[in-house]
């Protein structure tokens, strides 16, 4: 692939893009109720980029200045051969081009892959876990087994990976476990981030509304028990972080709906069939497959990426209004990755 002339990726609002999230599959071995319907349909496999195409496409982003790569899905670890992709990305970590290679996973297959992920240069992994109650875990994920995830977390830590737990705040479901989750994460040496549930997917938007537990309320409840100190930590995204005086752990709050972070957004998302989504909260995307599959590739692919970047909107529109949902997204979270 040709390397010059390269202009760092920036959009028409002057934001520099250094963070790419790539969904390597829309499939998953779970069906979390806020993410997918039980009988959701997936893309035909023939539409997926091959692992070799994914490597070329993501490497073009790295050439253009992406420094942080998060592999997600669907569940990234269910994609057949996915370790080949991690090994390929490992070369960018070794060369210093990628400062961080990481993944978001439900953890069910982590025990099997943790050591190899560490060998590929992964240092941290985000594991999604909304409850420590096995029966409730089964209900939220429809058929997941909590013990698999806990085993995955233990294996990741044994392999030297730092684990951050992602917990979707769900009113009526895990609001009674707030302190238990915080204390458990502190005991395990895991950081913890809470996420507000988002109105995505073509099913049950009303359910999202009834599940919505604003993190302002969650934080106020935490403050009845812990002393929280705001930190300046920032990933350029929707998360803000506090340090818990009693435990020393970091707790993050991802508030895509009640907190405006768009002005400093540094990230874009790639679907498993090569569409670039420049904003999680708007529908538009650019298809990078033609440029990727064009025999001339090289500069054509760079140009296609740069053109797509210029379409990144100033901000998203979705949110919860009194009694309703504004700008709900038909696209499921598994399509672009969380």
Which positions touch ligand SF4 (CB under 6 A)? 28, 30-32, 35-36, 73-75, 106, 128, 334
Residue 16 Cβ, how far from ligand SF4 at the closest point, in Å? 29
Task: Confirm or reject binding of residue 274 to ligand SAM (CB under 6 A).
Answer: no
Q: Are 161 and 123 in contact (CB under 8 A)?
A: yes
267: annotated binding-site residue? yes
Task: Confirm or reject binding of residue 59 to ligand SAM (CB under 6 A).
Answer: no
Residue 62 Cβ, how far from ligand SF4 at the closest point, in Å? 25
Residue 28 Cβ, how far from ligand SAM at the closest point, in Å? 6
Beta bridge partners of 22: 71, 270
SS3 label, residue 288: coil
Residue 223 Cβ, how far from ligand SAM at the closest point, in Å? 23
C-alpha distances (whole Å) from 103 to each of 96, 129, 159, 198 are 18, 14, 15, 20
166 binds, among ligand SF4, ligand SAM, none (CB under 5 to 8 A by kind): ligand SAM
160: annotated binding-site residue? no
Identified binder of ligand SAM from the candidate list 153, 170, 200, 328, rule CB under 6 A: 200
DSSP H helices in the chain: 51-63, 82-95, 110-119, 134-141, 146-158, 178-188, 205-211, 215-222, 289-293, 299-309, 333-336
Task: Confirm or reject binding of residue 35 to ligand SAM (CB under 6 A).
Answer: yes
CB atoms within 10 A of CB 100: 15
Stretch that binds ligand SAM, among 68-76, 212-220, 223-231, 296-304 (CB under 6 A): 68-76
Task: Confirm or reject binding of residue 198 to ligand SAM (CB under 6 A).
Answer: yes
Task: Confirm or reject binding of residue 281 to ligand SAM (CB under 6 A).
Answer: no
Render 170-206 in DSSP notation, one character per residue. Answer: BTTTTGGGHHHHHHHHHHHT-EEEEEE---BSSS-HH
Task: Confirm or reject binding of residue 211 to ligand SAM (CB under 6 A).
Answer: no
Identified binder of ligand SAM from the candidate list 55, 73, 149, 165, rule CB under 6 A: 73
C-alpha distances (whole Å) from 44 to each of 41, 203, 204, 273 are 9, 21, 24, 10
Residue 332 Cβ, how far from ligand SF4 at the closest point, in Å? 8
Task: Confirm or reject binding of residue 325 to ligand SAM (CB under 6 A).
Answer: no
Residue 34 Cβ, how far from ligand SF4 at the closest point, in Å? 7
Query: Residue 191: CA atoms inside 13 Å, Cβ hemisphere, count?
Result: 15
Q: Are 281 and 327 in contact (CB under 8 A)?
A: yes
Count Cβ atoms within 10 A of the Cβ of residue 283 and give its class: 0-12 exposed, 13-18 middle, 19 or more buried.
exposed
SS3 label, residue 275: strand
Residue 58 Cβ, how far from ligand SAM at the closest point, in Å? 17
Task: Confirm or reject binding of residue 106 to ligand SAM (CB under 6 A).
Answer: yes
Measured distance CA(178)–CA(2) in Å, rounded: 51
Stretch that binds ligand SAM, among 195-203, 221-229, 272-280, 318-326 (CB under 6 A): 195-203
Task: Confirm or reject binding of residue 338 to ligand SAM (CB under 6 A).
Answer: yes
200: annotated binding-site residue? no
CA-wise closest residue to 133 among 125, 122, 141: 141
Measured distance CA(280)–CA(306) in Å, rounded: 18
72 binds, among ligand SAM, ligand SF4, none (CB under 5 to 8 A by kind): ligand SAM
Task: Confirm or reject binding of residue 34 to ligand SAM (CB under 6 A).
Answer: yes
- Give the residues lining the site for ligand SAM (CB under 6 A): 28, 34-35, 72-73, 75, 104-106, 128, 166, 168, 195, 197-198, 200, 333-334, 337-338
């Amino acid at each position: 692939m040709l390397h010059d002339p390269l202009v760092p990726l920036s959009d028409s609002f002057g934001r520099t893009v250094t963070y790419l999230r790539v969904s390597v599959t829309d499939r998953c071995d779970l069906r979390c109720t806020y993410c997918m319907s039980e009988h959701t349909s997936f893309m035909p496999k023939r539409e997926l980029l091959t692992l070799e195409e994914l490597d070329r496409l993501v490497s073009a982003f790295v050439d253009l200045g992406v420094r942080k790569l998060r592999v997600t899905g669907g569940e990234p670890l269910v994609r057949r051969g996915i370790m080949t992709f991690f090994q390929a990305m490992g070369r960018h970590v070794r060369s210093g081009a990628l400062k961080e290679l990481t993944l978001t996973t439900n953890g069910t297959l982590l025990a099997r892959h943790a050591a190899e992920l560490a060998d590929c240069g992964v240092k941290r992994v985000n594991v999604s876990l909304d409850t420590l109650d096995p029966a409730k875990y089964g209900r939220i994920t429809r058929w997941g087994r909590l013990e698999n995830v806990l085993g995955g977390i233990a294996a990741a830590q044994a392999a030297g990976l730092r684990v951050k737990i992602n917990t979707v705040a769900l009113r009526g479901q895990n609001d009674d476990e707030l302190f238990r989750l915080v204390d458990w994460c502190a005991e395990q040496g895991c950081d913890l981030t809470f996420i507000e549930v988002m109105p995505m997917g073509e099913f049950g938007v009303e359910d999202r509304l009834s599940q919505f537990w604003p993190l302002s309320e969650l934080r106020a409840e935490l403050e009845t028990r812990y002393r929280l100190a705001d930190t300046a930590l920032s990933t350029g995204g929707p998360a803000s972080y506090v340090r818990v005086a009693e435990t020393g752990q970091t707790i993050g709050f991802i508030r895509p709906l009640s907190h405006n972070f768009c002005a400093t957004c540094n990230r874009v998302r790639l679907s498993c069939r090569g569409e670039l989504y420049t904003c999680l909260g708007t529908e538009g995307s650019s298809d990078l497959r033609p440029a990727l599959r064009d025999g001339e590739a090289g500069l054509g692919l760079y140009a296609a990426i740069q053109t797509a970047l210029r379409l990144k909107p100033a901000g998203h529109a979705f949110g919860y209004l009194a009694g309703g949902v504004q700008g709900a997204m038909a696209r499921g979270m598994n399509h672009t990755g969380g």
